[in-house]
């Protein structure tokens, strides 16, 4: 039984999971479903994109957690005749096991209990999701290390990456510049891919830009007025960061990327500033 978690009630009455080890709550303020809908379903117009897509559509779910992001996507797109491949990554299934033990408070899992349990047991499950056919795989490993292994080259190239790790302050290994650079290298340049995430920090945005992504302002959630969306194609960015953002980044006291998995805050180095302002996004 997973004991490193507890159910918490958010101010809006919705329940979520809190990690005792990391001292952070999954999807705080507005709750699991509302945040997943805002960040991944609505922001990317996922329903329409699936309607227009031919062939397999691949979503990477980085930070499976209690499966709120994955299940919200499944529920939102189930009436679209499509072939969806979900590729989830996490180092533990304990949050999902805990969520299944507390389904009375986490109703988003209703209807997907058997699929979630099979994913935990076998690390893969194939099923019909109303009009949709789903292949859901789980890679249980340390994600930063996994990206450096030869096996990473065999992962199906994504159309969307749902990036939902614990914050850099408590989980810096998931927010380093080498990690995002490695992630960018795994993308297919012929396959437009978007990476939305909940953070709006200058440090993250600089990190993503130096990794090779185009970066823009993401949709608001109940917690934040804006988030961040990155992509390997400028066509997927509706509100790209502009040159005046560069000046704010230069003045920031917390803009230099994490080059190692150790959390700290620092101003941009001279080398980073030169690389940043030379990014194609600011020179179109």
pLDDT digits (tens, 9 = 90+) for 241-280: 999 999 999 999 999 999 999 999 999 999 999 999 999 9
Domain presence at residue 144: yes
Residue 188 lies in a domain: yes
Distance (Å, rounded) from C-alpha 188 to C-alpha 192? 8
Q: What is the pLDDT of residue 223?
A: 61
Let me know: does 50 contact 74? Beta carbons within 8 Å: no
User: Which tens digit of pLDDT belongs to each residue from 29-53?
Assistant: 788 898 899 999 998 889 999 999 9
Residue 204 located in a structural domain: yes
pLDDT band with cut points at 50, 70 and 90 for residue 72 = very high
Answer whether residue 173 is part of any domain.
yes
Number of domains in the chain: 1
User: Which pair of tokens denotes residue 163?
Assistant: 């990036």
What tens digit of pLDDT does each residue of 109-134 get? 999 999 999 999 999 999 999 999 99
Report how many helices (DSSP H) and strands (DSSP E) the chain contains, helices first: 10, 11
Q: Do the beta carbons of residue 256 and residue 203 sit within 8 Å? A: yes
The angle subtended at Cα 51 by Cα 45 and Cα 56, nearest 5°, is 100
**Lowest-pLDDT range of 76-80, 204-208, 225-229, 256-260:** 225-229
| Res 224 pLDDT > 80 | no
Mean pLDDT for 207-224 is 86
- Enter the DSSP assignment of 166: P
User: What's the mean pLDDT when you consider all of the chain?
Assistant: 94
pLDDT for res 11 = 86
Cβ–Cβ < 8 Å for 263, 169: yes
Q: Are 57 and 85 in contact (CB under 8 A)?
A: yes
Cα distance between residue 231 and residue 237, in whole Å: 7
Q: Is residue 208 part of a domain?
A: yes
Residue range 68-86: mean pLDDT, rounded: 97
Judge whether 171 and 111 are in contact, CB under 8 Å. Answer: no
Domain range for 255 is 30-282
The tokens 């823009």 sit on which residue? 216
Asked whether the beta carbons of 249 and 205 are under 8 A apart, the reply is yes
Q: Does any domain span residue 20?
A: no
Task: Give me the pLDDT at residue 221, please.
Answer: 65
pLDDT on residue 1? 45
222 pLDDT more than 70: no
In degrees and rounded to multiples of 5, residue 280 shows phi and psi of -55, -30
Task: Tell me the H-state helices in 174-261.
Answer: 177-185, 202-211, 243-251
Q: Which residue spans within the chain are E strands per DSSP?
A: 5-9, 15-19, 24-25, 56-62, 82-90, 124-129, 132-140, 160-163, 194-197, 214-218, 227-231
CATH of the domain at 184: 3.40.50.150
The answer to the question of residue 15 being in a domain is: no
What are 131-176's pLDDT values in tens digits?
999 999 999 999 999 999 999 999 999 999 999 999 999 999 999 9
- pLDDT tier for residue 2 given thresholds of 50, 70 and 90: low
218 pLDDT higher than 50? yes
- Look at residue 126 and tell me if it is in a domain: yes
């Amino acid at each position: 039984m997973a004991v490193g978690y507890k159910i918490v009630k958010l101010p809006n009455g919705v329940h979520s999971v809190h990690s005792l080890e990391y001292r952070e709550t999954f999807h705080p303020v507005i709750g699991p479903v509302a945040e997943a809908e805002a960040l991944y379903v609505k922001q990317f117009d996922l329903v329409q994109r699936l309607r227009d897509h031919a062939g397999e559509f691949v979503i990477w779910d980085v930070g499976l957690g209690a499966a709120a992001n994955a299940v919200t996507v499944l529920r939102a797109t189930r009436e679209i005749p499509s072939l969806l491949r979900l590729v989830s990554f996490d180092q533990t299934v304990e949050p999902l096991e805990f969520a299944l033990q507390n389904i009375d408070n986490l109703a988003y899992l209703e209807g997907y209990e058997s699929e979630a349990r099979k994913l935990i047991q076998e690390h893969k499950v194939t099923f019909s999701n109303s009009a949709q056919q789903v292949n859901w795989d789980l890679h249980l490993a340390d994600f930063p290390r996994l990206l450096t292994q030869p096996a990473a080259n065999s992962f199906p190239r994504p159309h969307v990456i749902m990036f939902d790790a614990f914050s850099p302050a408590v989980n810096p290994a998931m927010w380093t510049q080498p990690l995002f650079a490695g992630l960018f290298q795994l993308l297919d340049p012929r396959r437009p891919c978007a990476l939305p995430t909940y953070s709006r920090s200058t440090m993250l945005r600089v990190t993503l830009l130096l990794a090779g992504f185009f970066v823009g302002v993401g949709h608001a959630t109940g917690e934040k007025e804006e988030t961040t969306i990155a992509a390997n194609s400028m066509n997927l960015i509706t509100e790209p960061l502009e040159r005046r953002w560069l000046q704010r980044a230069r003045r920031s006291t917390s803009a230099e990327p994490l080059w190692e998995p150790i959390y700290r805050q620092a101003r941009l180095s001279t080398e980073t500033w030169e690389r940043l302002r030379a990014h194609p996004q600011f020179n179109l």
